[in-house]
Chains A and B, each alone.
Chain A
Amino acid sequence: ETGVTQSPTHLIKTRGQQVTLRCSSQSGHNTVSWYQQALGQGPQFIFQYYREEENGRGNFPPRFSGLQFPNYSSELNVNALELDDSALYLCASSSRGEQYFGPGTRLTVT
């Protein structure tokens, strides 16, 4: 177990709705990265937060946004959900090196 926790575990939303996913980083880690993993594929980098500032973003539209809090926990927000947003959302915390992944949040959009 990595010490990275995510909530909720599973979530079902309707197309057009908004969703917020949460991640608590491992103690001492000041960086959180978010990834989207569609079924049967490898994870894709969404964005990374370092000390509450966005530090790089992948090829995702602006309706994917995030926050990092002073305790280094993080949120991923997705607006105007689309069917293709159905995926496993992984967060990973790190500090100067190896990333430790949480178990993910499985989002289903119907």
Chain B
Amino acid sequence: TQLLEQSPQFLSIQEGENLTVYCNSSSVFSSLQWYRQEPGEGPVLLVTVVTGGEVKKLKRLTFQFGDARKDSSLHITAAQPGDTGLYLCAGVHNGVIKAAGNKLTFGGGTRVLVKP
């Protein structure tokens, strides 16, 4: 069974501070995705990382995929209250039927609270 562990489970910071969320697995995934989920809504895809060592930036968010493609991190610079939410990493499994969508194994999530 492929499992993803996220840490920390909860993070509370002041506006303007930086934060890092970690996602670790004992298995290799073909790619890894990061989602943000707000109350009453489904997860929304932020980024997909595919290549070991890859770094992607999305405004103040920086995503890194480990060299061995087993771990990833999400770093937020100068966090704002609008960054508050549940951050989920998900390992992507390619299905047998390529035309069908991928299957996702999610981590437990990191709840981030940015106080003004």
The listed residue (B4, B98, B104, B108) touching A45 by CB distance below 8 A is: B104
The interface on chain B, measured as residues whose beta carbon lies within 8 A of the other chain's beta carbons, has a size of: 27
The interface on chain A, measured as residues whose beta carbon lies within 8 A of the other chain's beta carbons, has a size of: 31
Decide yes or no: A43 and B97 within 8 Å by CB, A56-B103, A101-B43 being known contacts: no
* B82 proximal to A (CB < 8 A): no
CB of B99 within 8 A of CB of A4, answer no
Alpha-carbon distance A41/B10, docked complex (angstroms): 12
* A7 proximal to B (CB < 8 A): no
CB of A99 within 8 A of CB of B106, answer no
Chain A interface secondary structure, helix, strand, loop or mixed?
loop
Per-position binary interface string of chain B over residues 15-48, scored 1 when its CB falls under 8 Å from any chain A CB and 0 otherwise: 0000000000000000000000000111111001
Alpha-carbon distance A90/B4, docked complex (angstroms): 19
The listed residue (A43, A55, A98) touching B88 by CB distance below 8 A is: A43
Set of chain B residues within 8 Å of A81, measured between Cβ atoms: none
* A94 proximal to B (CB < 8 A): yes
CB of B103 within 8 A of CB of A103, answer no
Decide yes or no: A56 and B43 within 8 Å by CB, A44-B106, A50-B100, A92-B101 being known contacts: no
The 10 closest A-B pairs by CB, nearest first: A101-B42, A94-B101, A42-B106, A50-B100, A31-B101, A42-B109, A31-B100, A43-B106, A42-B108, A55-B100
